[in-house]
Every structure is written in structure tokens, then in C-alpha cells.
Amino acid sequence: MYAIIDAKGMQVKVAPNDVVLVPFIEKPENELVEFNVYFLKKDDDVVVGRPYVEGARVVARILETVRDRKKVVFKFKKRKRYHVKKGHRQMYTKVLIEKIAVEE
């Protein structure tokens, strides 16, 4: 069984007991969070939502907040003595998928 969830606009394929990175969620560690389901595959049954699957949700536990590698942003204009170097680190939340709940 697996599902494709909506994690703040990002689509992520998950299965029970997976640990995945999703965009930053501003909640404390060890708290439960629920996600809507776009697509669900259970055994040989496939359900596609419009846009979400009715009665399906994914329950996950927040493990920690992590930051991605630094990305360097460099702006430069030739012959103008202009250059700016900046860095950016995107924040993500690491979650443990506890269950995929389906109401039948």
C-alpha cells in the first residue's frame, strides 16, 4: 500500500513506516500531522482523487526540522563593479509516516 500526498503543495509518495522530508511545518517535534491524499494504491485497487481521495488521509509524526545544503546566489553586472554573493538554506521537516487511513 502506498499513497501520494499533498505536503504544502509538494507531492510526495509515501508508504507506512517511511521517513520523508516535506516542506517546513511549524509544529513541535513528536506531534501528529495529517495530509490529504491525491492517489491511493491498496493491493490491486487504485483510487485517484478529484483532487483528493474522499475518506483517505495519511497520519505522520514529526521527527525533526532540518535544513538543506546551502545554495549560493551570485549576482553580477559586468563593467559596473557590482557583485553580490548570498546564501540560502531551505528548511524541511522530517516526518515518519505512521498509517494510511481509509474510510470504507
pLDDT tens for 3-60 read: 999 999 999 999 999 999 999 999 999 999 999 999 999 989 999 999 999 999 999 9
Judge whether 12 and 22 are in contact, CB under 8 Å: yes
Stated pTM of the model:
0.84
Judge whether 97 and 60 are in contact, CB under 8 Å: yes
Mode of pairing for the β-strands spanning 82-88 and 19-23:
unpaired
